[in-house]
């Protein structure tokens, strides 16, 4: 579904009709979530409204550069919810899923005013009074850009930068298959408004901490090629994490390194966790469906990107899953 003029106008009217807004996004927020959150709150505050974005955890290392002068409220304990400023509307960006809003459930239960969703995901099980959802949009930021543009509210460099970050991260810097011509049109428009693409690129992609940099090195050194170089298996042990002084958060997108290999059909990263559990990330190229594979082990996600958690030691989980994966790769008819 693409956005209709009626849907955009209805959401614009909703915003005009209210004065004080709370804005939230999904747990473990990414660039689209945070970019959309800050772009919306800044725009509202600039246009005579009072907006309060709410976060429930510190910004991840990668997105700390977004922590600008935008005011926001940090809720760390359930009791903090009562201290929120009064609001007459709640807007949720980049999700409509209750499962992705676990840390916000006390607010969702307590808040009795109207709720609005601005999103691009097909899955939506959160009750709301109005939605602006475009499931074809590669980022919630692109949906928000159309709304703000319609309201003539898209006219400053900081807001443009937040939206640029939203679109750039959800499209993997305009490289994933969800990248459309619209993404480039909007990128140009946002750059003309003052979004600094070089600074944003450096912050997002050239700013790894030494811990993450070392961890990527370990992951690449661990890479083994199986099944005629179509299967890449990488492994990170608890020892790797302590040697690199790294944490679980540093593994974001490490699996994507395997996609450099032209012959890769499927890649898998085994990450040893405390407590005899292995966290597994997978990526694939068509026609290999990693969602179908991960589903067999209680995991899932998307056809090209999935994950799962499997109980057992790193050695036994790795052996068992690799054997299954090798046989799945052999059965796959790769038409290239
Ligand atoms: Mn998104």
Q: In the chain, where does DSSP find H-type helix?
A: 5-17, 31-46, 105-110, 140-150, 157-170, 181-192, 197-205, 210-221, 238-244, 290-295, 314-331
140 CA distance to ligand 1 centroid (A)?
5
241 CA distance to ligand 1 centroid (A)?
29
Q: Model pTM?
A: 0.86
pLDDT at 301 over 80: no
Contact 305, 248 (CB under 8 A): no
33 CA distance to ligand 1 centroid (A)?
6
pLDDT tens digit sequence for 66-125? 987 788 889 988 778 988 999 999 999 999 999 889 999 999 999 999 999 999 988 889
Contact 284, 268 (CB under 8 A): no
**How far is residue 208's CA from residue 60's CA, in Å, rounded to a whole number?**
12
Secondary structure (H, E, C), 144-190:
HHHHHHHCCCCCCHHHHHHHHHHHHHHCCCCCCCCCCHHHHHHHHHH
Band (203; pLDDT cuts 50, 70, 90): very high
pLDDT at 333 over 80: no
127 CA distance to ligand 1 centroid (A)?
19
Q: Tell me the residues surrounding ligand 1 (ion) with CB < 5 Å.
A: 32, 94, 140, 170
139 CA distance to ligand 1 centroid (A)?
5
pLDDT tens digit sequence for 120-156? 988 889 999 999 999 999 999 999 999 999 999 999 9
273 CA distance to ligand 1 centroid (A)?
27
How high is the pLDDT of residue 334?
63
How high is the pLDDT of residue 52?
95
144 CA distance to ligand 1 centroid (A)?
11
pLDDT tens digit sequence for 1-26? 589 999 999 999 999 999 999 999 99
The tokens for 141 are 């930021």
Contact 132, 118 (CB under 8 A): yes
What mean pLDDT is reported for the chain? Answer: 94
pLDDT at 336 over 90: no
Band (313; pLDDT cuts 50, 70, 90): very high
Nearest to 279 by CA among 233, 235, 332, 335: 235
């Amino acid at each position: 579904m693409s956005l209709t003029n009626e849907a955009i106008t209805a959401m614009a009217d909703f915003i005009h009709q209210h004065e004080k807004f709370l804005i939230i996004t999904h747990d473990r927020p990414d660039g689209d979530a945070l970019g959309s959150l800050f772009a919306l709150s800044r725009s509202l505050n600039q246009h005579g409204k009072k907006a309060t974005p709410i976060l429930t955890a510190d910004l991840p290392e990668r997105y700390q550069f977004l922590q600008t002068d935008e005011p926001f409220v940090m809720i760390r304990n359930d009791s903090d919810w009562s201290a929120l400023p009064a609001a007459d509307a709640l807007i949720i960006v980049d999700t409509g899923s209750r499962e992705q809003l676990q840390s916000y459930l006390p607010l969702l239960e307590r808040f009795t005013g109207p709720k609005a969703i601005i999103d691009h995901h097909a899955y939506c099980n959160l009750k709301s009074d109005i939605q602006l959802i475009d499931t074809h949009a590669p980022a919630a930021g692109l949906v928000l850009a159309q709304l703000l543009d319609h309201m003539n509210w898209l006219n400053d460099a900081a807001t443009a930068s937040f939206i640029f970050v939203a679109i750039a991260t959800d499209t993997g810097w305009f490289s994933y298959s969800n990248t459309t011509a619209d993404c480039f049109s909007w990128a140009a428009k946002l750059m003309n408004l003052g979004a600094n693409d070089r600074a944003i690129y450096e912050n997002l992609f050239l700013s790894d901490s030494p811990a993450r940099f070392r961890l990527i090195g370990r992951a690449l050194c661990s890479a083994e090629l199986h099944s005629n170089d179509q299967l890449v298996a990488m492994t990170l042990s608890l020892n790797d994490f302590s040697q690199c002084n790294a944490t679980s958060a540093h593994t974001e997108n490490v699996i994507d390194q395997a996609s450099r290999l032209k012959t890769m059909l499927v890649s898998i990263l085994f990450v040893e966790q405390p407590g005899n559990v292995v966290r597994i990330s997978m990526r694939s190229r068509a026609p290999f469906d990693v969602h179908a594979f991960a589903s067999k082990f209680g995991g899932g996600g998307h056809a090209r990107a999935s994950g799962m958690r499997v109980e057992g030691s790193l050695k036994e989980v790795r052996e068992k899953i690799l054997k299954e994966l090798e046989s799945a790769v052999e059965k796959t008819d790769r038409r290239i």
